[in-house]
Amino acid sequence: MSLLRVAGRPLLASMFVVGGLNSVRNPEAVTPLAEPVVRPITERVALLPDRTEQVVRLSGGVQVAAGVLLGLGRLPRLSALALAATLVPTTLAGHRFWEAKDPGERAQQRIHFLKNLSMLGGLLIAADDTGAAPSWLWRGRHTAHELRRDAALVRHSVRATARPAAAVGGLRAKLPG
């Protein structure tokens, strides 16, 4: 594994571990901000809890778990996807710069919104990073190609040996027994 991955993954994950811990410990602090985003999501996804506070706590738990896994380099692609999935509603709930009236507040929220978009980009890159190993898709295609090649070799071998074998069999049948 490269030094960049060893250093980069924990750096990317750190914000999620800290923010997730805050959401798990004190969900009431962000529940009012999360309500307008969480409500439409919970109406569409039946598996999620009904109370916004519980959804915030669940999202924080996912961020802590996935952040720790990403930081340790365990299941990094899946962890990055899980973090990306929690980052989108978190960003939409917490950094609604378009609703801010004060120009200074609007500028700060826009900066935080763009920062989260940048982190989302990093997570998407991490989710696609195979660590210099072939992806599952490439491995599947490569295995299928090898199987087709092996099947063609078997087919050629069978054809090449079938005619002589049939001729020998025919001669044996004609010989007195």
Q: Sign of dihedral through CA atoms 46, 49, 53, 54?
A: negative
| Dihedral angle of Cα 89, 23, 77, 96, to the nearest 10 degrees | 30
How does residue 19 score in pLDDT terms, banded at 50, 70 and 90? very high
Q: Dump pLDDT digits (tens) for 83-116.
A: 999 999 999 999 999 999 999 999 999 999 999 9
What pLDDT score was predicted for residue 78?
A: 96
Measuring CA to CA, how many Å separate 36 from each of 80, 82, 112?
A: 25, 21, 19
Residue listed under structure tokens 């069978």: 158
Domain residues of the chain, as ranges?
3-128, 134-177
Q: Dump pLDDT digits (tens) for 117-153.
A: 999 999 999 999 887 778 778 889 989 999 999 999 9
What pLDDT score was predicted for residue 1?
A: 66
Least confident of 7-16, 96-105, 136-145, 161-170: 161-170
Which are the contacts of 112, defined by CB distance < 8 A and separation ≥ 6? 94, 95, 97
- What stretch of H or E contains 26? none
